[in-house]
Structure 1
Amino acid sequence: MTTTAISRKWHTTAEVAEMLGFSLSKTKMLVLTGEIRSVKIGRNRRILPAWVDEYVNRCTAGAERWSV
């Protein structure tokens, strides 16, 4: 018998807030304004790991322009 590990496909808003080191309210605002993409499944918002990466990449790309 083989065991297959299933990696997480979705994150909650609270999990993303923790990953980014942001408050839950700030993360919810980023989701509501579309800065972090999400989908609504039932009553809950879910965020793909790639969408978190997209947000981080946009933030760091902006920071790189200002660093000298």
Structure 2
Amino acid sequence: MQTTLPPKWYTTAQVAEMLGFGLYKTKSLIASGELRSLKDGRYRRILPEWVDEYVSRRVQEYEA
């Protein structure tokens, strides 16, 4: 039996797809610091909890 482990981090493209954003908008959020990320070699990586933080912050802004 093979189990699928959840990813430890996401690519920019994966996060864009999850949020329903284009790649350009997602990269802009990263560049502005609104969405946290780290550089791993040539690639940008985003932890799942950072995506959750971004979504929670947007909801709080909406409700305020």
Unaligned 5+ segments in structure 2 are none
Count of residues paired in the alignment: 64
- Say whether residues 1:23 and 2:27 are aligned partners: no
User: How far, CA to CA, are the matches of 1:47 and 1:32 in structure 2?
Assistant: 13
Q: Deviations over 1:32-62 (max 9, x none)?
A: 1110000000000000000000000000001
Q: Which residue of 2 aligns with 1:50?
A: 49
Percent identical residues: 59
Greater Cα radius of gyration, structure 1 or 2: 1
Q: Which residue of 2 aligns with 1:59?
A: 58
User: How far, CA to CA, are the matches of 1:36 and 1:52 in structure 2?
Assistant: 7
Q: Which residue of 2 aligns with 1:12?
A: 11
Runs of 4+ residues deviating >3 angstroms: 2-5
The two structures, once aligned, show a CA RMSD in angstroms of: 1.3
User: How far, CA to CA, are the matches of 2:6 and 2:58 in structure 1?
Assistant: 26
Q: Which has the higher strand share?
A: 2
User: How far, CA to CA, are the matches of 1:21 and 1:47 in structure 2?
Assistant: 16
Task: Give how far 1:18 is off.
Answer: 0.3
Task: Give how far 1:6 is off.
Answer: 2.8
State the TM-score, normalized to the length of structure 2. 0.91
State the TM-score, normalized to the length of structure 1. 0.86
